[in-house]
Amino acid sequence: MAMLPPLIYLIVYILTQFSIFLIVTLSLNLEVGHTGIPQFGRVIAVIAGAFAVGAVPGRILAYFLGLPFGEEYASTTSNFAIVTAINNLLANNILLAFVYFISSLFLAAVFGGFIGWLTSRPAIRLREAYLGISLLAFGDVFMWFGYNYQPLVGGSTAIAVPDPFAWFPGDRFLFASAVILIFAVLTFIATEMLTRSPFGRTLKMLRDNELTTEVSGKDIVVVRTRSLVIGSAMAAVAGALYVMYVGRCNASAFSRLTWTFWPWAYMMLGGTGSNIGIVLGVLVFIIIRTLITLYRYELSAFLPFDPLWLEYTLAGLAIILIVLFRPYGLIPEKPTPTLPRERIEQFLEESNKERD
């Protein structure tokens, strides 16, 4: 198989990172930008999806193959051999690989939605900083549980995950990247449709004025809970796609910096509440972060500090500049009328004629 130019692989890497974090940031924007929930625990749902895929589907396949599926499955001494046997089966059975892939994503979405509902119970009635800190704490609890409980996903050591793309005869990573990009596009379309629906307008009404929402007969707790469940399910799918793409599940990889604070930065850059702005914000930030990672050590002679911190320094500076000069992001949210513009203008014309 011919090797592609390094530039192609760089572009593919950027598109893959963009696709995964676009799904995560769109889910965050649904809860923060459209509902007004201070979601500082986005990592919770991502972990739920990743752990669901890392712990459940592989064990089911191992059980039907007569392989160890208990604690041995997550053991560093036997996990690789078990998953290799499963991959050999998936490589020769496209239908089974497809069923495994779709069912894994469905399982991740269910787990994510459940976690969104579960974390909303003690925290949904809290406001602002209290709710944000509660969700942040939940995220750390989930991550450290997976890190310290070895039978779940290997604890501090990464475990291999069955590869749903093992059957593809060409470059596996190129194909997987294309699939993930398709899911990102579908997620964007679904999010646009949701936020333009009556439910989406209810979310914005809740964000802008809780009293108006209550007067309109809407249950604030129910609306917030639904937003958390939907957003968490979306983020969990992103976590599942990430795990299946890299082929392993490592609890320590799901830190709040990567899966909560970076999406916040992407959202702020693009425009809180603006779905199309999220696309631009994620793409710009991913490109900048990737280029910094590639070339930061070449700039070490010109930096007064360790180039390892260049990425975080520039990210922090970018957030400060956004707040100062572009507080609404690169593409601010535009009001969505309940009626088409032409219809509103027609009403105004008719009203003016009646006055005259």
Extents of the domains making up the chain: 6-261
- The residue whose two tokens read 């005259």 is 356
> Residue 1, SS3?
coil
* Distance set, CA 11 to CA 26, 205, 301 (Å): 22, 40, 28
Cβ density class 129-144: b for 16+ within 10 Å, e for less: eebbebbbebbeebbe
Cβ density class 181-218: b for 16+ within 10 Å, e for less: bebbeebbeebeebbeeeebebbbbbbeebeebeeeee
Are 291 and 187 in contact by the 8 Å Cβ rule? The answer is no
| Structure tokens given for 29 | 């924007």
In 10 A of CB 334, how many CB atoms?
11
- Predicted pLDDT of residue 334: 80
Alpha carbons 113 and 263: distance in angstroms, whole number: 19
DSSP 8-state secondary structure symbol assigned to residue 253? G
> Residue 5, SS3?
coil
Confidence class for position 336, pLDDT limits 50, 70, 90: low
State pLDDT tens for residues 274-324.
Answer: 999 999 999 999 998 888 888 877 777 777 777 777 777 877 787 788 878
State pLDDT tens for residues 85-124.
Answer: 999 999 999 999 999 999 999 999 999 999 989 887 765 6
State pLDDT tens for residues 34-75.
Answer: 998 888 889 999 999 999 999 999 999 999 989 988 888 888
* Distance set, CA 233 to CA 68, 162, 335 (Å): 30, 21, 26
Nearest Cα to Cα of residue 210 among 128, 304, 114, 296? 128
| Structure tokens given for 146 | 């997976």
pTM of the model: 0.91
Strands (E), the chain: 159-160, 248-249
Confidence class for position 1, pLDDT limits 50, 70, 90: very low
